[in-house]
Amino acid sequence: MTQQALDLTIALQEQDADAEDLDRLARQLRHEIHDALDVEKATLTRDAVLPPGAKGDPITVGSIVVALASAGVFTGLVELIKAWALRREGRTITLKAKVGDREVELSYSPTETTPEQMTQFVETVMATLQKDRNPNHHQHRIHRRDNLEY
């Protein structure tokens, strides 16, 4: 089975930051991601206006799209983002994970997001990756459990 990549869009917001500040912050975070993790790619997005009737969110300054091939890199990236957000008060980061046609989104703020919410986001993304890689995974687990009970 072909392994699907996980695309994670990271949209940065910082209290009192203008577009230039957000662009600078996105470049710094992108550099840190490249230095710390083995990502397939991390690219900055640019302002774009969607045509009338198009579906989706407009791309904004201060956003990075990261392509990951492994779940381990994803969890490392989440930890890096959490640490980055803690460095300065007023930072909020929107994380949008996309695997195939499935999306999971979380707006992360160190002061407002609970550890349980972050854990749920990570577990949901990991489960989506697992389902995408092995759609029969759940059935096999139930079958094995049934065998253990008898």
pLDDT-derived band of residue 82, with 50, 70 and 90 as boundaries? very high
pLDDT band at residue 4 using 50, 70 and 90 as cut-offs? low
**Per-residue H/E/C for 36-75:** HCCCCEEEECCCCCCCCCCCCCCCCCCEEEEEECCHHHHH
Is residue 84 in a domain?
A: yes
Domains identified in the chain, total number: 1
Q: Is residue 1 part of a domain?
A: no
23-70 pLDDT, tens digit per residue, is: 899 999 999 999 999 898 999 986 544 445 544 444 457 899 999 878
Residue-number span of the structural domain to which 13 is assigned: 6-149
The more confidently predicted of residues 59 and 80 is: 80
Residue 128 lies in a domain: yes
Tens of pLDDT along 5-22? 789 999 999 999 888 899
